[in-house]
Chains A and B, each alone.
Chain A
Amino acid sequence: MDALLPQLFAGLSLGSVLLLAALGLALTFGQMGVINMAHGEFMMAGAYTAFVVQQLLPDAGVSLLVSLPLGFLVGGLLGLLLEVTLISRMYRRPLDTLLVTFGVSLVLQQAARDVFGAPNVDVRAPAWLSGAVPLLGMDVPRTRLFILALAVAAVLALSMVLKVTPLGRRIRATVQNRDLAETSGVSTRATDRLTFFVGSGIAGVAGVALTLLGSIGPTLGTAYVVDAFLVVVVGGIGQLKGAVLAAVGLGILQAGFEYSTTASLAKVLLFVVIVAFLQLRPQGLVSVRTRSLA
């Protein structure tokens, strides 16, 4: 089976893309319970940021490095705006946030279409990311290695933030016991906003990364948002570890199914596996123990 290794890597790579898309959701959905369907459009905004930056800074390498933090900022600010105007008044109705943010995603898509035009646009990859490197006897595309590294970096950075910074402590406190956190002097409103900012910002970074793989169009995000939610559902609520395991697992499964059957059937099989899995572990791979009945 000389296909095994390349497929394993293909799965890992797909997993890293899924992870980048899902990491922000693991925060906003996993920790805050907000079902943000516009998450995909924040990715789209990040991708268009990369496009605009490249128009201004023709050097592909520089523009990519500038786009990453800028994409974070653009995604984050959009998220912040959404939180302040709409989501903040809906924390008691998590299911309704799904519909409201679906409306937001429709509006953002059409806005992108009106601003940038319906045809897709292209972002050039820098020279140092084109082509492949030989690795364990296979040719691994540099872009995919880059995205893998980016995903790892994002996970590490996020878990560091959650673990050691004051912001991270506040987020964890708010998630675990909102009332107690509030009484202890944590401003839960400010924490909500910041959490949403960071989660949406990661979506923007994911969007910048996706420009290396595919096309940039108004519907970029819709292709990923359902998959990203499934990653969080399978991973389990409340911990990044679950999202990481789920993303890699689903990526490898999908690549494996795709190799042995067809791309269409792979999607269907994956869904069957997920429903079956939730029968065994409705709380997901990794879960925080609670006494809640739900």
Chain B
Amino acid sequence: MSAARPGSARTAVARPDWWRREGVRLWGGIALAVVLLVGVAPAVLSDFRLNLLAKFLCLAMVAVGIGLAWGRGGMLVLGQGVFFGLGGYLMAMHMKLSDAGPGGVPDFMLLYGDGVVPGWWEPLRSPVVTVLAILLLPAGLAAVLGLAVFRRRVRGAYFAILSQALAAAFAILLVGQQKVTGGTNGLNGFRSFFGYDLADPVNKRMLYYIAAGVLVVMVVVVRLLMRSRYGELLVAVRDQENRVRFLGYDPAVVKVVAYAVAAAFAAVGGALFAPVAGIISPADVGVVPSIALLVGVAIGGRATLLGPVLGSIAVSWAETSLSEQFPSFWTYFQGALFIGVVAFLPNGLASLGGALRRRRARGSAVPEVGPASDVRPAAGSAGGVPADPPAGAPDVTTDTVDTAGRHA
């Protein structure tokens, strides 16, 4: 695929006020989301539903990170459950420690362990250390792992498989160390969150507002990142890693930053998930939940700003309400979503409108379809992967949308 600049410049020439409209739409969307989240939702939802929404918002935080790393950075992160889990467990450990009785030992350690708090738990008694750990530890781990993998130019597919294996290993490790992690039970039964009683509905509501606020901040952060020079580099690395390398940048560093930010977002999501859901367990961090997080991002549009958020909230909501009535149907539906969206709508539902508009405009506005077929030969096999025969394929239209969307 060609470097993005010429393509977008052409678009900009063709439709001069396009950017402004996009900006208006975007900030309007964010403002609308804020109004819905902070104003409308708490007013119309019952305590139970609001708490449920708070849970979805925590998952949406992971989705924002996935959108950045996968949608913009082209890294298929299959192991975000690890960072989600790290954040969740760190927060849960702090809550268990502060809830502990006179001896300062969490209840499950008395039951299953030898009643001694291991040394590496101790620092988490401090709220400050806990918050710092949640922000820095998962991001640090991601940075180390990312440097190890990207420096050696491990192929994209390898990275995906490794991150998946990491999730599997992490879940097994948590389960195996029951005395210090609670095993399959995970950690639960939290009574307070930084001194606030969790049984109090007012404080549950407060948690919701915090989750909503944090999510909005994350979206804004991604927006700022993407509009910076770094954002351009990230997309460039996704589309043509070698060209970026030849220009003197280190693609590994560019990727690692996005990976670490995504990890930090996932960790914060996990850290808020623990008090909101009242539990964090290995079942929330393994391979399947890690992949399940991707479907929302794919549906919403992986490379859009609000798509991952909306998509993941929609999927979570659908799962909760549909699986109540048809548990077996839900599995089919989830499978069908993966297949349908990724295969036929690679840029998510967000691209549906654009795709239709383009299809309609195709007859008159030739340049809009132009770039895709122009760059085809160059698009070639970036990762040693064969390209489709360029002409005559029935899915030319989707291809066009795909290529165009990839630059976006």
Contacts and interface: CB of A to CB of B under 8 A. Distances in A.
Interface residues of B, number: 57
Contact of B298 (A29, A99, A110): A99
Nearest to B394: A89
Given A110-B335, A278-B154, A294-B153, A178 B165 contact: no
Interface string B136-168: 000000000100110011111110111011101
Contact of B169 (A90, A103, A110, A267): A267
A63 interface: no
A149 B241 CA distance: 44
A98 interface: yes
Contact of B165 (A98, A174, A226, A290): A226
Most buried by B among A95, A262, A267: A95
B338 A100 contact: yes
Contacts of B168: 226, 267, 271
B38 interface: no
Contact of A104 (B145, B241, B298, B335): B335
B385 interface: yes
B172 interface: yes
Interface in B363-402: 379, 381-388, 393, 395, 402
A274 B165 contact: yes
Contact of B343 (A86, A95, A109, A290): A86
A90 B395 CA distance: 11
B334 interface: yes
A32 to B, nearest CB: 8
A93 interface: yes
B160 A35 contact: yes
Interface in A3-37: 29, 33, 35
B331 interface: yes
B76 interface: yes
A103 B338 contact: yes
A99 B335 contact: no
Nearest to A106: B335
Contacts of B76: 95, 98-99
B230 to A, nearest CB: 22
B153 A110 contact: no
B88 interface: no
B336 interface: yes
B176 A109 contact: no
A274 B176 CA distance: 20
A106 B343 contact: no
A230 B161 CA distance: 7
A103 B340 CA distance: 9
Given A29-B157, A95-B156, A103-B336, A294 B388 contact: no
Interface in B264-317: 287, 291, 294-295, 298
Contacts of A282: 152-154, 158
A92 interface: yes
A268 B291 CA distance: 20
Interface in A259-287: 262, 264-265, 267-268, 271, 274-275, 278-279, 282
A146 interface: no
Contact of A94 (B298, B339, B385): B385
Contacts of A103: 334-339, 342
Contact of B339 (A29, A104, A109, A188): A104
Interface string B240-281: 011001000000000000000000000000000000000000
B120 interface: no
A176 to B, nearest CB: 10
B161 A279 contact: no
A233 interface: yes
A1 interface: no
A62 interface: no
B343 A100 contact: yes
A137 B384 CA distance: 49
B384 A33 contact: yes
B67 interface: no
B325 interface: no
B155 to A, nearest CB: 6
B241 A106 contact: no
A257 interface: no
Contact of A264 (B175, B291, B332): B175
Contacts of B328: 110, 113-114
Given A95-B157, A100-B342, A264-B176, A294 B382 contact: yes
A293 interface: yes
Most buried by B among A86, A226, A290: A226
B335 A94 contact: no
A138 interface: no
A196 interface: no
Contacts of B388: 89, 91-92
Contact of A91 (B241, B336, B339, B386): B386
A107 interface: yes
B158 A278 contact: yes
Interface of B: 74, 76, 78, 145, 148-149, 152-158, 160-162, 164-166, 168-169, 172-173, 175-176, 241-242, 245, 287, 291, 294-295, 298, 328, 331-332, 334-339, 342-343, 346, 379, 381-388, 393, 395, 402
Interface of A: 29, 33, 35, 86, 89-96, 98-100, 102-107, 109-110, 113-114, 174, 178, 188, 226, 229-230, 233, 262, 264-265, 267-268, 271, 274-275, 278-279, 282, 290, 292-294
Give me the 5 closest cross-chain CB pairs, A-B, nearest first. A103-B338, A264-B176, A106-B335, A107-B335, A103-B339
